[in-house]
Homo-oligomer: A and B are copies of this chain.
């Protein structure tokens, strides 16, 4: 990709995440992004069709980073495939930590739904194989509960950034019935 393109794209992302830290997503105008990124109006629209598309790209970027790094790690260490949901979770939290301040902006206000729907989808895949059985609750409900609890844990974390990933992971598992410390 052309260096100019890369620079512009980065400038847009930087401007957008900076604005997200200050204001609710739906209050941010394209003009503000353009001004902050110091680019031309036409340029913005040549990169992203709409502000929504920008938000989705941003989310996709974060997820690519967070989840692909997670998968890499998994295939690198070879005692993988089932060395515990907990280790995975903790690692996802580690990667998310790098984006915590941007996430705070993304999650507050109305834009949260976009991120959350992405996030839910990814997590559902991750959790589906390891839902505990024999709880007397529909699997459907239980999976939703796990996914949502984790999402909300992350949301909570963006407001209480003093905790380390391992602690947050411990909190999460502390409220999850039927899961062992290391469910191998």
Contact = CB atoms under 8 A, between A and B. Distances in A.
Interface of A: 26, 109-114, 135-138, 140-142, 144-145, 148-149, 152-153, 156, 160, 170-171, 174-177
A174 B136 contact: yes
A112 B107 CA distance: 13
A15 B129 CA distance: 43
Contacts of A135: 174-175
A160 B174 contact: no
A27 to B, nearest CB: 11
Contacts of A174: 135-137, 177
Contacts of A176: 177
Contact of A113 (B109, B136, B144): B109
Contact of A175 (B113, B137, B153, B171): B137
A171 B110 contact: no
8 contacts: A26-B26, A26-B110, A110-B114, A112-B113, A140-B160, A145-B149, A148-B149, A176-B177
Q: From A110, A141, A142, A152, name the one whose CB has the most chain B CB atoms within 10 angstroms.
A: A141
Nearest to A109: B113
A90 to B, nearest CB: 16
A98 to B, nearest CB: 21
A178 to B, nearest CB: 9
A160 to B, nearest CB: 7
Given A135-B174, A144-B156, A149-B149, 18 more contacts: A26-B110, A109-B113, A110-B111, A110-B113, A113-B113, A137-B171, A137-B175, A141-B160, A142-B175, A144-B152, A145-B152, A145-B175, A148-B149, A148-B152, A149-B152, A175-B177, A176-B177, A177-B177
